[in-house]
Amino acid sequence: MNPLLVEAVRSAGADAYPLCSVDDVPFGEGRSITVEGVKIGVFNTAAGFFAIQNECPHEGGPLSDGLLAEACVTCPLHGWRINLRNGRVEGREDRVSTFRLHQDGHTLWIDAVDLERFSG
Ligand code: FES
């Protein structure tokens, strides 16, 4: 994302950042988008769009490159399966951060509070 746009949104006190167009993420796939230095995995599923931290809690695998099934993604490196709704890893205590999205027209917006909580 354009850093000047991010700064403009922040200075305006907005509660969400424009993340991408819905057309940027084909159905059944994920894409990596960096916002404020945070790598976000954005997924287009039959259950809707989801955004999570794009680093697997195991060894940092790029989750946006994983296979989607329902609202879960399987890490492309060693196969951990992550629920996109809550960030939990199946059968483990590990989890990734999730980010609320909303759609306005063709634009996906990411929740500013979630993003700032994650980026510290
Ligand atoms: S890095 Fe994701 S399962 Fe190992």
Q: Is 59 in the pocket of ligand 1 (CB under 6 A)?
A: yes
Domain range summary for the chain, segments of one domain joined by + = 3-119
Q: What is the mean pLDDT of residues 8-22?
A: 76
Spacing of C-alpha 60 from chain mean position: 15
Q: Which atom of ligand 1 is nearest to the CA of 59?
A: 1
Report the C-alpha gap between 78 and 36 in whole angstroms: 28
Angle at 87 between CA 2 and CA 17, to 5 degrees: 20
Q: Give the residue, by CA position, lying nearest to ligand 1 atom 3.
A: 78
Percent of the residues in the chain that have a pLDDT greater than 90, as a whole number:
73
What distance in angstroms lies between residue 99's CA and the mean position of ligand 1's atoms? Answer: 20
Which pLDDT band, with edges at 50, 70 and 90, does 8 fall under? low
* Closest ligand 1 atom to 78 CA: 3
For residue 77 and ligand 1, the question of a CB distance below 6 A is answered with yes
Distance 110 CA to ligand 1 centre (A): 25
- What is the helix (H) or strand (E) element at residue 98, kind and residue range? strand 98-99
Among the listed ranges 4-8, 84-88, 102-106, 114-118, which one has the minimum average pLDDT value? 4-8
Tell me what the pLDDT averaged over the chain comes to.
Answer: 90
Does residue 17 have a pLDDT over 60? yes
* Helix (H) / strand (E) containing 41: strand 38-45
Amino acid occupying residue 32: S
Class for the domain spanning 3-119: mainly beta
Mutation to probe ligand 1, out of 39, 52, 58 (largest number of atoms < 8 A from CB): 58
Task: Give the pLDDT confidence score for residue 15 in this predicted structure.
Answer: 87
State how far the Cα of 101 lies from the Cα of 20, in Å rounded to an integer: 11
Alpha-carbon distance of 91 to 3, in angstroms, equals 38
Residues whose CB is less than 8 angstroms from the CB of residue 91 and which lie 6 or more positions away in sequence, other chains included: none
Q: Following CA atoms 95, 98, 55, 57 in sequence, which dihedral angle do they give, to the nearest 10 degrees?
A: -10
User: Quick one: average pLDDT of 4-26?
Assistant: 76
Encode pLDDT of 25-76 as tens digits. Answer: 999 999 999 987 889 999 999 999 999 999 999 999 999 999 999 899 999 9
